Amino acid sequence: NANDTVIGIAASGRTPYAIGALAFAQQTKALAISVACVPNSVLAQHADIAIAPVVGPEVITGSTRMKAGTAQKMVLNMLSTGVMIRAGKVFENLMVDVLPTNAKLVDRAERIIAATTGVDQIQAATLLKTAGYKVPVAIVMAKTELDAADAMQVLADHDGVISAVLAAWEAKHGHK
């Protein structure tokens, strides 16, 4: 449907199942994106957006896992990073929607809270615990005067995007 995106990946730009997937995506009104290392490929003809990194011939003919595969992986990394940013999983330059399910991840979550809010790690640990181990909630709590429940609600109201929450908070209350 119109809320979906399908990415077809083929180094040659002519792999039948990738072409079929994009053709189906267009039939269902999903956004169709092609990633092929050949400009104006058949795959691109079935895409709303065509991405064609220029890599030139492979060092070993037929070995698309080298330059083409690496370029396509980089494109996918860029796309997934953009998706995470748009989804509110990133604040400043940090992936903040970490699930602290072990000691290492709890430590990472505390460091993220400390880095983004200016509190020390002990305060960050307290915020994290109070926020139910939800890093975005802890960040909003530290940067506003909200308790965990209100921070969670205001995040929900702003699609989980911390920067949107803080912009709205500052517009209403001024800079903390």
The average confidence (pLDDT) of the chain is 93
d(CA 77, CA 90): 15
- Looking at 30-120, list the stretches that DSSP marks H as alpha helix, in order from N- to C-terminal side: 42-45, 67-86, 103-117
Mean pLDDT of 2-9: 93
Given the structure tokens 């050949």, which residue do they identify? 38
The encoded tokens of residue 158 equal 């702003």
Mean pLDDT of 71-98: 93
* pLDDT-based confidence at residue 64 (cuts at 50, 70, 90): low
Q: What is the pTM of this model?
A: 0.75
Residue type, 39: P
Report the run of H or E that residue 40 belongs to, with start and end.
none
Mean pLDDT of 80-101: 92
In the prediction, which pLDDT does 86 show? 86
The encoded tokens of residue 80 equal 């997934």
The encoded tokens of residue 127 equal 């915020």
- 129-140 tens-digit pLDDT: 999 999 999 999
In the prediction, which pLDDT does 174 show? 80
SS3 at position 50:
strand
**Axis-axis angle for helices 148-157, 162-173 (nearest 10):** 110
Q: Is residue 163 a contact partner of residue 170, using CB atoms and an 8 Å limit? A: no
Q: Is residue 131 a contact partner of residue 109, using CB atoms and an 8 Å limit? A: no
* pLDDT-based confidence at residue 77 (cuts at 50, 70, 90): very high
* pLDDT-based confidence at residue 58 (cuts at 50, 70, 90): confident
Give the chain's length. 176
List the domains of the chain with CATH numbers.
Answer: 5-86 (3.40.50.10490), 91-173 (1.10.8.1080)
Mention every residue, 6+ apart, whose C-beta is less than 8 A from residue 54. 37, 39
Q: Is residue 29 a contact partner of residue 48, using CB atoms and an 8 Å limit? A: no
Report the run of H or E that residue 167 belongs to, with start and end.
helix 162-173
In the prediction, which pLDDT does 125 show? 98
In the prediction, which pLDDT does 63 show? 74
Q: What percent of the chain has pLDDT over 70?
A: 98
pLDDT above 60: residue 176 = no
Cα dihedral across residues 14, 68, 66, 9: positive or negative = negative
The answer to which of 12-21, 86-95, 128-137 has the lowest mean pLDDT is 86-95
In the prediction, which pLDDT does 65 show? 73
